[in-house]
Amino acid sequence: LLLHVSLFLAYVLRVSLSIAIIAMTNSSHPHGWAGSAPHGSHPGFARDAPVYNWSTETQGIILSSFFYGYGLTQVLGGYCSGLFGGKPVLGSGLLLSSLLTLLVPLAAELGIGFLIGLQALLGLAEGVVFPAQYTLWAKWAPPLERSRLMNVADAGCTFGTFFALLMAGIICQSLGWPFVFYIFGGVGCAWCLCWFLLVYEDPAHHPWISAGEQEYIVSSLAHQGSSHGLSLPLVAMAKSLPLWAITIACFCTDWMFYMLLTSMPTFLSTILHFDLRENGLLSSLPYIGNGLGHILAGILADFLLARQVLGTAAIRKLFSALGMLLPATFLVAVPYIGCSSTVVVVLLTLALTIISMTGAGININHMDIAPR
């Protein structure tokens, strides 16, 4: 539950700009310069919120700058989690992300370069979150419950996306877009205090679980290999075909998912011409299906594994294949639909719902092959 809430907030922080940028930009200047327009010049939004004449290309650079930093700390986050534990690494990354989110309005006012740099720093901070949570799961999740537990936690990502897209549109229209970042960043800082107080690194140090539960978790994980400590088996990793297969599959899946995560609100606004409130609602709806799909995929995968209907490898391959091929088919169909908004939204919803099946496939497959 604590990881679910943490991932919920991590995605609230990273997604908020995707919808707020619509309120931040002057839609009548699609090829404008990177300066600011007079305050309150965007119709339908709270007054005194600055509006910027950013072109579509500039908006794309701003939104993508998060990923400049995000990819750089993935391996570092896992390495540091192995040394210091997943709890401090994840908590520190989330706290820094929350503080940086509070600074978004200031960075936008200072200039586009500051905002791009801030988004890159936000990516660096959030890049450690997922590797750190996997370190915690390696100490807490019994193998026969791993799919279910990890997918319930990962559902926090999509429910957080749903919440951020829905609420950001409402906040922009009622209070002004800067309050999106003030509210979400403030809540994130408050949650980090709860994280450091309530989370424990492993069952042995948790004061509230029963002795029987502690024994069950520890004994179920006893067969796992030990970590490599300070050293990384880089040569063995480079020669590992399963690792390369998981890496390539994750790249392809994340390409689809994050493209929709960052660009769908802009697509619905500029191509299908939905207003901000409708945009927030329609952009958020697919993530309800994605979150529920994560939970159901985890339950089904653990059921098949516990009943020995399929082996671990077969389950991971089946869920990964379905979670990649079907969404790709729906996305390829979108350009051929034209501007039929209903059909396009249905296809996007189906794509984001079914891609959640990878949560019981490649998204946790590395936990099956990696040492503790």
AA letter at 286: P
Position 34 pLDDT exceeds 80: no
CA torsion angle 43 48 53 59 (round to 10): -90
Instruction: Indicate left, alpha or beta for 46 from its phi (over 0: left) and psi (-120 to 50: alpha).
Output: beta
Which of the four pLDDT bands, split at 50, 70 and 90, describes residue 47?
low
Considering 31-40, 93-102, 363-372, the range whose residues carry the highest mean pLDDT is 93-102
pTM of the model: 0.77
**Do 338 and 359 form a contact (C-beta atoms < 8 A)?**
no
State how far the alpha carbon of 300 is from the alpha carbons of 211, 270, 366, in Å: 29, 39, 19
Three-state DSSP at 25 gives strand
Angle among Cα 341, 275, 157 to the nearest 5 degrees reads 80
In the chain, what are the domain boundaries?
A: 2-369
Three-state SS for 234-298 is HHHHHCCHHHHHHHHHHHHHHHHHHHHHHHHHHHHHHCCCCCHHHHHHHHHHHHHHHHHHHHHHH
- For 305-347, the DSSP string reads HHTTSS-HHHHHHHHHHHHHHHHHHHHHHHHHH-S-HHHHHHH
Which of the four pLDDT bands, split at 50, 70 and 90, describes residue 6?
very high
Question: Mind listing the pLDDT tens digit for each residue in 150-196?
Answer: 888 888 888 898 898 888 888 988 888 999 999 999 999 999 999 99
Position 231 pLDDT exceeds 70: no
> 2-369 falls under which CATH superfamily?
MFS general substrate transporter like domains (1.20.1250.20)
**First and final C-alpha spacing in the chain:** 22
Please report where in the chains the tokens 């989110």 appear, as a residue.
101
Residues 6+ apart with CB under 8 A from 313: none
Alpha helices per DSSP H over 25-128: 56-70, 74-84, 86-102, 104-110, 112-126
**Do 19 and 279 form a contact (C-beta atoms < 8 A)?**
yes
Q: How many CB atoms lie within 10 A of CB 265?
A: 28
Position 202 pLDDT exceeds 50: yes
Query: What confidence score (pLDDT) does residue 27 get?
Result: 60
Share of residues in the chain with pLDDT > 70 (%): 91
Q: Residue 68 burial (CB < 10 Å; 0-12/13-18/19+)?
A: middle
Question: Mind listing the pLDDT tens digit for each residue in 16-28?
Answer: 998 889 888 876 4
Position 313 pLDDT exceeds 80: yes
Position 215 pLDDT exceeds 60: yes
Q: How far apart are alpha carbons 130 and 257 in whole angstroms?
A: 16
Three-state DSSP at 52 gives strand
Alpha helices per DSSP H over 141-201: 146-174, 178-198
Query: What confidence score (pLDDT) does residue 224 get?
Result: 62
Residues 6+ apart with CB under 8 A from 138: 221, 224, 367, 370, 372
Average pLDDT over the chain reads 84
